[in-house]
Structures are given as structure tokens and as C-alpha cells.
Amino acid sequence: MNRHLLGIQGMDQTAIGALLQAASQPQTTPLAGKLVMNLFLENSTRTRLSFDMAAQRLGARVVTMTADGSSIKKGETTRDTLLTLAAMRPDALVIRCSENGAAHLAADIFNCPVINAGDGTGEHPTQALLDALTLTQRFGTLHDLRITIVGDILHSRVAHSNAILLSTMGAKVTLCGPAELLPAPDASWLPKNATLSDNLDHAVDGAQAVMALRLQKERFATHLKIDEHAYHHAFGITQARLAPDCVVMHPGPMNRGVEIDDALADHPTRSLILQQVANGVTMRAAILAQLLDTTHNLKVAA
């Protein structure tokens, strides 16, 4: 069993299936006496609060640091910040950072499990796992599921982790967006059987689930300009463009009227968005329990 959760890359069906299974079981409080350190150097609503709630629901205590109010604002490097926090010896570190590879760097430095809560344009494995839980609850299995991820595929760590996880589990994944926001066909993370498309109508034809993503303008190169009205016209997810039984997902934060319309975002049966949020707490609890709970590890190893 892995000691850290740094990415979906490298996880096989068994490892992913074990977490989906664990998240479907009732949670107890196996982490009493443990101290989880949340280091969020990039903004977050859902991920940060759900890690906090998951840890506390399992009986752990949580300390949190954000970039605002930290010595990073005084010029301390990420590496020095990590060395400093590691010296305080938490029982687990949850890290979000705008630098790709930050969680891997933390795993080299910390003497405890490290969980990647999003590293730049790299990976966001816990989001992909909670999305997989949500899809499994709806469809029973990920195998042969036709899912289309629409938006800023290039910069989205959510798209990267989801594409890898869903392909690993046998889903048929299409990645759709404007050509300048699609990855190169030989991008190292891109699953071999994933389809790339810059035509939304083709990409959602036959899809059972569509996942909309935000334009991650904070990660755009300076020359890249996307007009939001033109984007909505070409890639906005609307009721008219989807089959009547296709469900919609979004990791949040949503920009309504840009990547998704109100009618779908708020749809009582087709929107899985708040179920994704609820599953964020459940899945993160399962992950913390698996990485931190020594009795659980022994049981799994036995």
C-alpha cells in the first residue's frame, strides 16, 4: 500500500477500487489523537473544508495554514516552508500549491503521509476519487461509462487526474475544449485511449455524463486570450446541447453562464454537483483513514 497520495498516475484498478469501497462503508473515529496539517498555499473552498471536516469526523485534530498570513509573504521559499513545517512533526500533511510537483517535494521532506490537494497544473487525485465515487453511485460501475470532460483541459489538474482514473477503470473518456486549451496528443499524462475534440456537439454525442470545468485564467500564458461569450457559445453546457438523461458534474468553483447554465447546474436530478461536494468529505475521510490508521493498514495488509 502507498504511504502517500500524490497522484492517480501509478495507481491501479485495485488501489482505486479499494478507496471507492472504503468510502462506501460507514466511517468510525479511528484517528483520535492524530494531528493533520492542512497547508493551502492556493485558494480553496471545497477541498480545504472537506479535508478539515473529514479529519475531524474521524477524531483527528487539524491545523491549517494558508499563504496569506504565512512567511511565504516575507519571501520564504516553498522548500524552506516545508522543512519548517516538517520539523513540527504532524501525523499527515495535506498540501495545495500552485507549483507542479510541490506534493512530491513535500513527500521527500515529511516523515508522514502526504496528500496532494492540487499541485499547479499537475494532479488533484482526491477530486478524481470523489468524482469516481459520485459516478459509481449513479451508474454502478465506471467500466464502459461514456464521459466527456469539457473546458480548460490544458491547465486543469482535475481533468488530468480524472482522465487518468476514469481510463484506468475502463471508462471511455473524451476531452473537449478550444484547441488552444487541449493538451498535445503526446502529452505524458494523457491516457492512450482518451479522445480529444474541439467540437462540443460531437464530443457530447452519446455521453452519459459531462463534466464542465472553469477557465483557469490565473494559469494562462500572457498571450492566451479567451472571450467568455464566444466560449459560452461554443463550449457552454446547456440543456439544449445534452441528451435528456445525461448528468452534469463540476468540481467548482462554477462560473455560471460561462461553462455551465443555471438550468443544468441546479437541475434536481441531472446535476451531481452537490453530491460531489458531499462525497468530498466521505472520500477524503476514507483516504485519511487508509493512510493514517495503523490498525486499518494492518487489517488490509493481513
Q: Mapping DSSP to helix (H, G, I), strand (E, B) and coil, where does residue 152 land? A: coil
Residue 46 near ligand NCD by CB under 6 A: yes
Q: Please report how close the Cβ of residue 42 comes to ligand NCD at its closest, in angstroms.
A: 7
DSSP assigned state of 241: G
Q: Say if CB 147 and CB 135 are below 8 A apart.
A: yes
From edge to edge, which strands make up the β-sheet containing 195-197? 195-197, 172-176, 146-150, 209-212, 247-249
Residue 23 to residue 119: CA distance in whole angstroms: 23
- Nearest approach in angstroms of CB 30 to ligand NCD is 25
Please report how close the Cβ of residue 95 comes to ligand NCD at its closest, in angstroms. 13
Q: Between 91 and 152, whose beta carbon lies closer to ligand NCD? A: 152
Q: Partners of 212 in the beta sheet?
A: 150
The distance of closest approach from Cβ of residue 158 to ligand NCD in the complex, given in angstroms and rounded to an integer, is 5
Which of 4, 157, 172, 270 lies at the binding interface for ligand NCD (CB under 6 A)?
Answer: 157
Owner of C-alpha cell 438550468: 263
Site string for ligand NCD, 75-114 (x = CB under 6 A): ----------------------------------------
Q: Which of 11, 16, 85, 158 binds ligand NCD (CB under 6 A)?
A: 158
As given in the structure block, the three cell numbers for residue 141 are 460501475
Tell me: does residue 246 bind ligand NCD (CB under 6 A): no
Site for ligand NCD in 126-155 (CB under 6 A): 127
Q: Which is nearer to ligand NCD, 123 or 293 (CB)?
A: 123
| 41 lies in the binding site for ligand NCD (CB under 6 A) | no
> Which residue in 252, 267, 278, 297 binds ligand NCD (CB under 6 A)?
252
* Site map 206..225 versus ligand NCD, x via CB under 6 A: --------x-x---------
Contacts of 183 (CB under 8 A, 6+ apart): 153, 154, 175, 189, 190, 196
Q: Does 251 bind ligand NCD (CB under 6 A)?
A: yes
124 forms part of the interface with ligand NCD (CB under 6 A): yes
Binding status of residue 160 toward ligand NCD by CB under 6 A: no
Using the minimum distance from each CB to ligand NCD, give the nearer residue, 72 or 254. 254
Cβ-count burial 136-148 (b if 16+ within 10 Å, e if not): beebeebeebbbb
Give the nearer residue to ligand NCD in terms of CB position, either 10 or 253.
253
- Per the CB < 8 A criterion, the answer to whether 284 and 51 are in contact is yes
118 binds ligand NCD (CB under 6 A): yes
**Taking CA 208 as the corner, what is the angle to CA 234 and CA 189, rounded to the nearest 5 degrees?**
70
Cβ–Cβ under 8 Å, residues 62 and 86: no
Q: Is residue 47 part of the contact set for ligand NCD (CB under 6 A)?
A: yes
> 294: helix, coil or strand?
helix
Strands (E) in the chain, as ranges, are 35-40, 61-66, 92-97, 114-119, 146-150, 172-176, 195-197, 209-212, 247-249
The least CB distance from residue 244 to ligand NCD, in Å, is 27
Q: Which residues bind ligand NCD (CB under 6 A)?
A: 46-47, 118, 124, 127, 157-158, 214, 216, 251-252
